[in-house]
Amino acid sequence: MIRILIADDHAVVRQGIRQVLALGADFEVVAEAKDGWEVIEMLRDGPVDLLLTDMSMPGPSGVELLKRLKEERPGLPVLVLSMHGEAQVAARAIKAGANGYVTKDCEPAALLNAVRRVARGGHFVSPELAQRMVFETGLGSEAPPHESLSDREYEIFLHLIKGQRLNEIAEELHLSPKTVSTHKMRIMQKLDLKSAAELVRYGIERGLIS
């Protein structure tokens, strides 16, 4: 039996994941966490064979949480289930310690397959996403400017190029608007862009906006 901890800040998403995992007789959801702090606490309190986690939650999350877990629970298999299908996001998650990465629009069978493979010590990334990771994350002679962004800057950058306002981004990432504004300023400086319109155009030209 594979004992699973589900981490997502949306209760309806956790319930949906439970329903999918119920299709597999070898899965048992032993706990749920709604933020990064609960993940850390629950992993200390009880036996868990695999963490199935979102990238964006209150408290430590995403790359920050993955790096922390790699230090505290280096042998724990971690599968990321995220709304972000960008190759760069997946690549950063894998680099930070995730054993697998699937998107929330995947088929239930793909999620079950990913959970089993990661729980057994393997790795899983959907074939299409894996192909984009190979060809979009630095194999060229010169890396694109956005690869110089920090993990948090890149996370905010993905929201900015979709035209989201600072307050919307702050609410979604559980940050203060001032923090998001500061990151935006650094992003604009690193990419040598002068306006929000230029930022959106940058994302379109590089195929980062679907």
Please check whether residue 163 lies inside any domain of the structure.
yes
Single out the residue in 135, 170, 197 at which a domain terminates.
135
Which of 135, 154, 186 is the endpoint of a domain?
135
The reply to whether the predicted model has a pTM over 0.85 is no
Give the pLDDT band of residue 66 (cuts 50, 70, 90): very high
* Structural domain of 103: 2-135
pLDDT score for 138: 54
Please check whether residue 140 lies inside any domain of the structure: no
What average pLDDT does the segment 36-64 reach?
A: 89
Regarding whether 94 and 152 lie in a shared domain, the answer is: no
| Contact of 83 with 103, CB cutoff 8 Å | yes
Please give the tally of structural domains in the chain: 2
CATH code of the domain in which 10 resides: 3.40.50.2300
**Range with lowest mean pLDDT among 64-78, 108-122, 147-161:** 147-161
Q: What is the pLDDT of residue 140?
A: 47
Burial of 64 (0-12, 13-18, 19+ CB in 10 A): middle
Can you give the CATH number for the domain in which 167 is found? 1.10.10.10
* Other CB atoms within 10 A of residue 205 CB: 10
**Domain-embedded: residue 57:** yes
* Residue 78 reports pLDDT greater than 90: yes
